[in-house]
Structure formats: structure tokens, C-alpha cells
Amino acid sequence: MIEFVSGISVVCFAASYLVALACEASRLLFRSGVRGAAMIAFAAAGLFAHTLFLLWRAANEHAVPLSSAFDWYLLVAWLLAGGYLWLTISNPKTPVGLFMLPLVLGLIGAAHLSSREPFPQSPATQVWGAIHGIFNLAASVAVAIGAISAAMWLIQAARLARKQAPTQGFRMPSLEKLTATTSRSLGLAAWTASAGFISGLVLNAVNRRQGLLETVPWDDPVVLRMAALVAWLVAAALVSRSIARRPNAARVTAWLSLVSLGVLTFSILWGLFGATRHGVPPSRPAAIVGEASQ
């Protein structure tokens, strides 16, 4: 059993999710009586392997979730994959996987490129570090869900505007439901990203005052990109709220949510390929984090 669990790699569950995505895509091409079961089976197998992989790392490599960039991305992917499985079982006719699984696979790809080295920690800053990680995690999941919901809203609205009956295998939820999900996700993303950013500032300040760990400069690219993301999300949430009683509010909110995902993606790519002192142990020089994992 131990041999089996230790043999699970990122490729195992990524491949399962990829097959589930292929099944989802085949909805558009042909009808099948067994596809639903196959889709759920592959997604469930992937999620099971994904869970075992995270547990194995936590138990044997002392890499608890959120303790490194690698684990952080995998945990976001795990949450979205779990959400996908739940939504597919509860709404089998909605092709939610076409929107969620590419994000899951993208996050797994980001994990693959990011550092597996644990973030530097000290007992005094452990709590702030956890708060910082959890809020950023929640913000990322909220942005992802909001963007997925927004994309579905735009597709559904385009179909209704073209006055076409739903396409077989591509039935979207109602605009009412999607509007509510998009709007709530955007609000939640703004709150949690703000809390994540502020807790990061506090964490950095505590480190700086106590001289426990090397601090991240205030003009570090990670600080700047997070500040930009938070500013965007707060502005987007405020705009969405202020136009809530206008006829085109849902459409504007949908676009704001999609752009939010773009900003988050840009921020992740910047984090992956830019030089930073964020999450780098004190002894190391500022480096490209992706290279640190090589």
C-alpha cells in the first residue's frame, strides 16, 4: 500500500483529469450512455490520487498544504477538482468540466513549474503565514469560480440573444443562477484577496520587527502584483455593486470576473517567472523561483 501511495505522481492525477476533460468535450460531438459514468470515474480517480499525493507529502515530506508554492497550487487545484466532481454529480447535464478542468490542469502545470521548497517559517509567524496562505487560496478559488460562472453567463446570454434552443450536451444553468454566483464570487474574491494581502503585510512586518526571517522588500514584484490584483478585485467588486440595479449589470459583472481571472493568471505567471524574495529562505539570493526548484 505504501509503495502504491508513494508511487503516485502529479502525472497520475493530471492524466485522469485530462481524460475526464476529453469526455466532457465529447459531449459536443456525440451522445453516449456511459460517458457520464466514465467522466465521474476518471474525475473521482484523479481526485483520489490527488488527495493521496497531498496526504503523502504532508505525512512523509513534512510539506503540509500551503507550506510551499508547489503545495499551494496543488491545493487550489484539489479544491476546484472536488468542486467539479460535486457539480458534475449534482448537475450531470451541465458541461461544467469544460470550464473547470482546464483551470485545474493549469494550476497543476503551475505547481509543476513552481518551487517545492517550503516557505521559511518561524513559530512566531506561523499563524500569520497560515492566514496569509488560506486567504490567498480562498481568493484564487473565488476568482476561478466567478470566472467560470461568468463565461457560462456570456455563453448562455449569447444563445438566448440568438434565440436558439440549447445545444445537445451543452445546457448552461440559468442566467439568474449564474449572475448570483458571479457577483458573490467577485465580492468574496475582493474580501479574501484584501485579507490575504493585509495578512501578508503583517507577516512581513512581524518578520522585519523581530528579525526572525529575511523580509520581503515592499517593492518586491510579488508585493506589487498582489497589490495590483487586490486593487483590481476591490475596484471590480465596487463597480459591480454600484451598477447592480442597471439592466446590463450582469453582463458587466461577467466581464469584470473574466478580466479578474486574467489578472490572477498574469499574477501567477509573474510569480512563476519573475525574480522575488517572497518565499525564499534567508540564505538564498533573490532568484527566479522556478529555477529554485530545479
Partner 1 sequence: MTIAFVGGTHRTVPLLLRERLAFSAEQAAEALRRFRSRFPGREVVLLSTCNRVELYTAGESQSPPPADQLVSFLAECRGIDAGLLEPVLTPQQDEDVVRHLLSVASGLDSMVLGEPQIVSQVKQAWALARQNDACGPLTGEMFEAALRTAKRVATETGLGRERLSIPSVAVADFARGVFERFDDKRVLLIGAGKMARETLRYLREAGARDIIVINRTAERADQLAKSLGGRPGRFDDLAAELAAADLVVSTTGAPEPVVTPTVFARAEADRQGRPLVVLDLAVPRDFDPRIGDRPGVWLYSIDDLGSACDANRRSRQREMPAAVAIVEEETRRFMGDLHHRSTAPVIEQLRAGWSETGEAELDRLFRRLPNLDDTARLEIRQAFDRYAAKMLHPPLASLRNESHSGPPHGLLDALRRLFDLKE
Residues that bind partner 1 (CB under 8 A): 31, 33, 156, 159-161, 163-166, 168, 172-177, 243-251
Q: How far is the CB of 249 from partner 1 (least distance, A)?
A: 5
Minimum CB distance to partner 1 smaller for 9 or for 242: 242
Minimum CB distance to partner 1 smaller for 122 or for 242: 242
Pull the grid cell for residue 283: 540564505
Write 218-222 long-range contacts (CB < 8 A, 24+): 220/276, 220/277, 220/278, 221/270, 221/271, 221/274, 221/275, 221/276, 222/270, 222/271, 222/274, 222/276, 222/278
Q: How far is the CB of 137 from partner 1 (least distance, A)?
A: 29
- Give bridge partners of residue 275 from the DSSP assignment: 288
Minimum CB distance to partner 1 smaller for 164 or for 283: 164
Q: How far is the CB of 175 from partner 1 (least distance, A)?
A: 5
Minimum CB distance to partner 1 smaller for 164 or for 294: 164
Q: How far is the CB of 20 from partner 1 (least distance, A)?
A: 22
Minimum CB distance to partner 1 smaller for 246 or for 284: 246
Q: How far is the CB of 17 from partner 1 (least distance, A)?
A: 27
CA 140 from centroid of its chain's CA atoms: 4
Minimum CB distance to partner 1 smaller for 60 or for 174: 174
Minimum CB distance to partner 1 smaller for 1 or for 161: 161
- Give bridge partners of residue 287 from the DSSP assignment: 276
Minimum CB distance to partner 1 smaller for 112 or for 159: 159
Dist. CA 73–CA 140, nearest whole Å: 10
Q: How far is the CB of 48 from partner 1 (least distance, A)?
A: 29
Q: How far is the CB of 187 from partner 1 (least distance, A)?
A: 17
Q: How far is the CB of 102 from partner 1 (least distance, A)?
A: 24
